[in-house]
A and B are shown apart, each in its own frame.
Chain A
Amino acid sequence: MSRARVVPRTVSLLLLLAGALLIMLPFIWLILVSLKPADEIFSPDVRFLPTRIEWTNYVRAFVEVDLARFLMNGLIVVAGILFFQIAFAVPCAYALSQRRFVGRQVIFGMILAALLVPFHVAAIPIFLGLAELRLVNTYTALIVPFVASAFGMFLFRQFFSQIPADLFDAARVDGLSETAIVWRIAFPLAMPAASAFAVFSVTAHWNDLFWPLIATSDPALATPPRGIVYFRDQEAGDDMGPLMAAAAIVTAPLVIGFLVAQRKFTEGLAAGSLKG
């Protein structure tokens, strides 16, 4: 290799490494502090590495607050939301792309318009409605506001409109009902779109703090970010290690998911840029 190439390449490599290290710093620090004993965390003489590893921080994170509960709540909420989003979006998207009926354009227009509305805009009236129905502080309140995903409907519709109609006609000739076609033929074909959508939806709702902060005040219903904020607020100052351990555990599922399925994650999250 010529020298003229080595120098710029080395420079760009070093800069990129330094930048990546800077980006990773909060992750590294989170892990390191979560492994430090309390006296080392609170020593004004800050050391980068712990002198001895304090695993008990991770145990105390589960004992001092109900972290297992927060994770379970997170799982219930993201799974519930995803289930209903798909249940609503897939049949609608299928009908919009493969069937002809009056009002098709109107409904597609509604989906496009709904894409423009950030969830925050609907928060106050939805809260009022849930309060009226006495549903505040329930799982329902955490799940129901998100079941109509215009983004999901849009994504699936785009996917289904690329599938040739002959395929569905053949299924009809075989005597399948439209509902059966949706779930037994169209949905399995749409797996690439579904997985990208799942990444988008699960990440958004696992990480959300805005709505859990509004819809619940009961710690037993706290989702992981809500739980972290509870823990931090009640923490008297000596629980920094366990708090950092809890934060590491909460973000671990998504980080691991991302590292395992990088392509799917990048695709799903980048597709979200279409959403208002």
Chain B
Amino acid sequence: MIGLSRRARDGLTDLWLVGPASLALLVLIFVPVVAVAILSFTDYQFGARTFNFIGLENYKTLLTDPIGRRAITNTLLYVAIVIPFSMIFALLVAIGLHGMASWAAPLSRILRAAYFLPVAATLVAMAIAWQMLLHPSIGLVNTFLNAIGLPGQAWLSDRGLVLYTLAAIGIWQTIGYNMVLFLAGLAAIPGHLYEAAACDGADRQWERFWTVTWPMLGPTTLFVLVVTATNSFRVFETVATLTKGGPAFASDTLVYALYREGFVYFKAGYASAITIVFFVFVLVLTLTQFGLLERRVHYR
């Protein structure tokens, strides 16, 4: 190192510390994003030697072809179901457990672990368990329905039902996550606000909720909403394990369609267009989330 000035040595050290990570980000994230955007304007197929630029053709197909549109509307419907239900249940559970922590702390902790379990579990393995629960003839769910006099359903093979079944599994998996976020929000509400509300005559549970809890949870709720949306947009594991997008594309979603078109049918160009549409949705949501996070920090 003799002969190098102090500045040059410092520069080399910086390069040594930061270089590998920056290069990895570039090669593994930024270059692929540009590449997928370019590919989305081509008719490239995996394994082909050449390709042609076909302009917006892939996007046109995606937005006009019934199957392509199906993937988009299914994903939006799935997200639209998972968001409200997983949030409402999570909020109720969080309020219940938060209250319980004051008079039965150990039990509250055990229940919180139970609700969070699906978040930590392997979704593919749990999808197998769901498949068994929902089995038309030997499943527990239909057995239970029959026992109380209701007809059993073909939960995963009925075209009209399958997306709702997957959404229900999505809700099951998301509640624990949202509950944890809501619990953090609840813990941050200062106790004196409740005392103040009580002085003003709001001493019923319900009144306290609307005058204190709900307004104070505003930023948390918005944040949970966006996180739930971003996560449920990526629904893939349950679709791939349980339905493969079927029957007749009734449960096809964007990420599954991208996988199928790209890696089963090798239509890399078309799959790239699906990728970009998916990316735009997620990007808008994530940017909203960053904005909210920023606001929440200032809020405190």
Contact = CB atoms under 8 A, between A and B. Distances in A.
A163 interface: no
25 contacts: A12-B100, A16-B93, A16-B100, A27-B126, A44-B137, A91-B16, A92-B17, A92-B20, A101-B18, A107-B22, A114-B30, A117-B33, A125-B32, A125-B35, A125-B39, A147-B28, A207-B122, A209-B123, A225-B124, A229-B241, A240-B132, A247-B122, A258-B120, A262-B113, A269-B180
Interface residues of B, number: 92
Contacts of B275: 120-121, 123-124
Interface string A130-163: 0100000000000011011010010000000000
Interface string B222-265: 01000100100010110011000000000000010011001100
A53 B160 CA distance: 38
A127 B287 contact: no
A26 B130 contact: yes
Which DSSP category, helix, strand, loop or mixed, fits chain B's interface? helix
Nearest to A182: B17
A13 B274 CA distance: 46
B117 A23 contact: yes
Contact of A117 (B104, B237, B255, B279): B279
B41 to A, nearest CB: 13
B59 interface: no
B58 interface: no
Interface in A200-259: 203, 206-207, 209-210, 213-214, 224-225, 228-229, 232, 240, 243-244, 247-248, 250-251, 254-255, 257-259
B156 interface: no
Contact of A127 (B184, B230, B263): B263
Interface in B77-102: 89, 93, 96-97, 99-100
Contact of B282 (A15, A44, A118): A118
Interface stretch (B62-70, B138-146, B209-217): B138-146
A274 B21 contact: no
Interface in B247-300: 255, 258-259, 262-263, 268, 271-272, 275, 278-279, 282-283, 286-287, 289, 293
A34 to B, nearest CB: 9
Interface string B17-54: 11011101111111111011001000000100000000
A69 B226 CA distance: 38
A41 B131 CA distance: 13
A33 B135 CA distance: 13
B20 A124 contact: no
Given A213-B240, A224-B122, 6 more contacts: A24-B117, A42-B138, A120-B234, A123-B258, A148-B28, A250-B124
Contacts of A125: 31-32, 35-36, 39
